[in-house]
Every structure is written in structure tokens, then in C-alpha cells.
């Protein structure tokens, strides 16, 4: 590849990203109490958040609507052109409206403004022209007056990026006001990677009952190895006669035991080979927390307890269980 061409294109790419980053910083520095008012309007909205915008602005509206919905603020996109032919019927008392228009003079939007005001819906305007026709209809106007990253200052680039970032800022502020918890967020994301990471608990994936590898302190190592092999988890718990977990034997413990005891290894007791104070996790912990704990201690399994302070495991979870569930 031509080196001059590579340098030129890399330089252009970096310049565009620099301009868009500067646009976001400009909007951030100009943020004022209108942002607070906008957040409060949406947070107190009893109906849905209706977003509308034409062209690239419309695409940004769809993303903001999706983000708001994901945190429990029902939001929908209303296409300005379609609204002129019947879709205005989706507007209801109690809704609020967010309009995104770079110029503030978008014809299709201007035509629906009287209908929005007739229903008396609170209206938030995101625009680069605070003196525009659209801006004059707004209860709150958020200014996104930035230079586009394209060489002609025409193609929506920096303005759409900054508007999108502003929408994210609004959503996160609403999350803070409503004290949205991880569990709340998970409720709206039951599918895909997010759903698996936020909803799956240790209890959903752990091995129970007879699947738990188990020997006692006085179990001979020849029988302990059979237990490890038959349960196929590369580990076994070591219990006392009160059925309490007192240790664990892993593949690493087997190797160290063989080095230490040599030919007498198979006749040694599990208590002589085990590692004491095995790592555990609670059944109601998220599966992702189990993974973090395994990574932190460089281990591949955790015994599972009903509650903190218990000594009698109710299950075991292995890193392969997390892999199968696509937690990793």
C-alpha cells in the first residue's frame, strides 16, 4: 500500500475524530440549567417520550429512544413526514416530546409543531440554532451549535455525534434521579450478552446433589482420584464428618502430593493433600461475579453456599459452566 496514501487517510481519520471530540466538549462546556429542566421533564413524564427528527437527526432520535426505553422511560420515534399523514394520532396527554433539528427550520417538523402545542405536550428542542422556528416552540432548548467534521461543514457528522452524546447524558442523569439499580437495568435486557451477564445467577448454573464431587478427610487418595475423575470437574471438596467443607483437592494438589509423597501417595488421606480454606460463593451472586472471583484467584471452580457463614455447600460451579452459558 502506498505510504503517502496511508499517512493521508490516517491523518484525515484522526482529524475527523478530533473535530467530533471537540464538538462534544463544546456542548459540554455550554451545558446550562436547561439540561436540568430537560431531565426533569422526562423524569416526571407520565406518558411516553416522543422523539422526532428528519434524516440523520431521525436516526439519532431512534437511538435516544432506545436508550431511554432501556432504563424504563418508554420512548418511541415519530417520523415527521409520516406524522403529517395520520401518525400524529400516537400523541397523548401526558407525553413529552424531544425534537432534534440541526437547523431548526426543518419543514416537516414545523408543520407538526402546532399539533404538539395544541395537545399541550412539554417539548425539548435539541438544535444548533436557538433562534429558529422550531426552537421558539420549545419549553426547553438545548444548544448543539458545532462545526461539522466534513470539509464543507454540511454533512451531519459532529452535530449528530454531539446530539447522540447529549441524549446519553440525559439518560444517565435520569438513571441517577430514579436510582436505577443493576437489577432494574437487567430486567429490561433479558436477552443477549447483557441479559446473560446481568440476570444469570450462580444458582442457575451450579451443579447440585450427586453432581458435587465429595470425599471425606480420611478418604484415601486412590479413591479421591476416582471421585475427581468421575465427576469430571477437575476438583473435589473434602468434608469432615459434620458434612462441612474443610478443604479442596485440585489437579494442582495432586501434582504437589505426588512430588511430596512419591510411591506412598495413593495411600495418603485426603486431609494430607487438600488445600484448606477453599474459595466459595453464594448461590444468589451473579454468575459474572463467580467469573471475576475465579480470575482473581486463578482457579477454575467455586463451591456454592446458601448464605454467608455456611460451611455446608449446596453446589459447585466450574468455569466451563460459565463458558457454556456465554458469560465469558
pLDDT 10s digits, 281-327? 999 998 889 999 999 999 999 999 999 989 999 999 999 998 888 77
Q: How does pLDDT run across 194-235, given as a tens digit for each residue?
A: 556 667 889 999 999 999 999 999 999 999 999 999 999 999
Q: What local confidence, expressed as pLDDT, does residue 57 receive?
A: 95
pLDDT at 87 over 90: no
Burial label, 254 (beta-carbon count in 10 A; 0-12, 13-18, 19+): middle
Residues 251, 171 share a domain: no
For the segment 6-21, the average pLDDT, to the nearest whole number, is 94
CA distance 304 to 315: 5
Number of domains in the chain: 2
Quick one: cell of 17? Answer: 475524530
Q: What local confidence, expressed as pLDDT, does residue 186 receive?
A: 60
Residue pair 274/248 in contact by the 8 Å Cβ criterion: yes
Q: How far separated are the first and last CA of the chain, in Å rounded?
A: 37
Q: What local confidence, expressed as pLDDT, does residue 71 receive?
A: 85
Residues 261, 156 share a domain: no
Q: What local confidence, expressed as pLDDT, does residue 323 receive?
A: 87
Residues 211, 172 share a domain: no
Residues 226, 117 share a domain: no
Q: Using 50, 70 and 90 to split pLDDT, how confident is the model at 179?
A: confident
Residues 305, 228 share a domain: yes
Q: How does pLDDT run across 120-160, given as a tens digit for each residue?
A: 999 999 999 999 999 999 999 999 999 999 888 888 999 99
For the segment 261-276, the average pLDDT, to the nearest whole number, is 94
* Predicted TM-score of the model (pTM): 0.67
**What CATH number should be reported for the domain holding residue 87?**
3.40.50.10490
Nearest Cα to 55, choosing from 142, 170, 165, 154? 154
Domain assignment present for residue 223? The answer is: yes
Residues 149, 53 share a domain: yes
Q: What local confidence, expressed as pLDDT, does residue 196 receive?
A: 60
Nearest Cα to 50, choosing from 16, 27, 82, 15? 82
**What CATH number should be reported for the domain holding residue 229?**
3.10.580.10
Q: What local confidence, expressed as pLDDT, does residue 193 receive?
A: 57
Residues 126, 253 share a domain: no
Residues 239, 148 share a domain: no
pLDDT at 185 over 90: no
pLDDT at 58 over 60: yes
- DSSP for 169-222 reads HHHHHHHHHHT--HHHHHHT--SHHHHHHHH-BHHHH-B-GGGS-EEETT-BHH
Residues 117, 20 share a domain: yes
Other Cβ atoms within 10 Å of 278 Cβ, number: 20
Residue pair 295/320 in contact by the 8 Å Cβ criterion: no
- Mean residue pLDDT across the chain: 91
Question: Collapsing DSSP states into helix, strand and coil, what is residue 160?
Answer: helix
Domain assignment present for residue 186? The answer is: no
pLDDT at 107 over 90: yes
Q: How does pLDDT run across 280-291, given as a tens digit for each residue?
A: 999 999 888 999
pLDDT at 95 over 60: yes
Highest mean pLDDT among 84-98, 168-182, 208-222: 208-222
Residues 150, 39 share a domain: yes
Residues 206, 176 share a domain: no
Domain assignment present for residue 117? The answer is: yes
Q: What share of the chain is helix, strand, coil (3-state, %, to 5)?
A: 50, 15, 30
- Which residue range forms the structural domain that includes residue 127? 3-180
Domain assignment present for residue 37? The answer is: yes
Q: What local confidence, expressed as pLDDT, does residue 324 receive?
A: 86
Domain assignment present for residue 285? The answer is: yes
For the segment 76-90, the average pLDDT, to the nearest whole number, is 88
CA distance 1 to 3: 6
For the segment 74-94, the average pLDDT, to the nearest whole number, is 89
Amino acid at each position: 500500500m502506498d505510504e503517502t496514501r496511508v499517512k493521508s487517510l490516517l491523518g484525515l481519520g484522526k482529524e475527523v475524530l478530533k473535530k467530533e471530540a471537540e464538538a462534544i466538549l463544546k456542548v459540554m462546556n455550554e451545558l446550562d440549567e436547561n439540561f436540568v429542566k430537560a431531565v426533569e421533564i422526562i423524569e416526571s413524564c407520565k406518558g411516553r417520550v416522543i422523539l422526532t427528527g428528519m434524516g440523520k437527526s431521525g436516526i439519532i432520535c431512534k437511538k435516544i429512544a432506545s436508550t431511554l426505553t432501556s432504563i424504563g422511560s418508554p420512548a418511541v420515534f415519530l417520523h415527521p413526514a409520516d406524522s403529517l399523514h395520520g401518525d400524529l394520532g400516537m400523541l397523548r396527554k401526558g407525553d413529552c416530546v424531544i425534537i432534534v433539528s440541526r437547523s431548526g427550520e426543518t419543514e416537516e417538523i414545523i408543520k407538526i409543531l402546532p399539533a404538539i402545542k395544541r395537545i399541550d405536550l412539554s417539548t425539548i428542542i435539541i438544535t444548533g440554532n436557538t433562534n429558529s422556528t422550531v426552537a421558539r416552540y420549545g419549553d426547553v432548548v438545548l444548544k448543539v451549535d458545532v462545526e461539522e467534521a466534513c470539509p464543507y461543514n454540511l454533512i451531519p457528522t459532529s452535530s449528530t455525534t454531539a446530539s447522540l452524546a447529549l441524549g446519553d447524558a440525559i439518560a444517565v442523569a435520569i438513571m441517577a434521579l430514579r436510582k436505577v439499580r443493576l437489577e432494574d437495568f437487567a430486567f429490561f435486557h433479558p436477552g443477549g450478552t447483557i441479559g446473560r451477564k446481568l440476570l444469570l445467577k450462580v444458582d442457575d448454573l451450579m451443579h447440585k446433589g450427586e453432581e458435587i464431587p465429595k470425599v471425606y478427610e480420611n478418604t484415601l487418595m486412590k479413591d479421591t482420584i476416582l471421585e475427581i475423575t468421575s465427576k469430571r470437574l477437575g476438583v473435589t471438596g473434602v468434608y469432615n464428618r459434620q458434612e462441612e467443607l474443610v478443604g479442596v483437592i485440585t489437579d494442582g494438589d495432586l501434582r504437589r502430593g505426588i512430588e511430596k509423597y512419591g510411591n506412598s501417595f495413593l495411600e495418603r488421606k485426603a486431609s494430607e493433600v487438600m488445600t484448606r480454606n477453599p474459595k466459595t460463593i453464594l448461590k444468589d451472586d451473579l454468575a459474572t461475579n463467580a467469573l471475576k472471583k475465579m480470575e482473581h484467584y486463578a482457579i477454575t471452580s467455586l463451591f456454592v453456599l446458601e448464605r454467608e457463614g455456611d460451611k455446608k455447600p449446596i453446589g459447585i460451579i466450574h468455569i466451563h459452566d460459565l463458558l457454556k452459558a456465554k458469560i465469558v
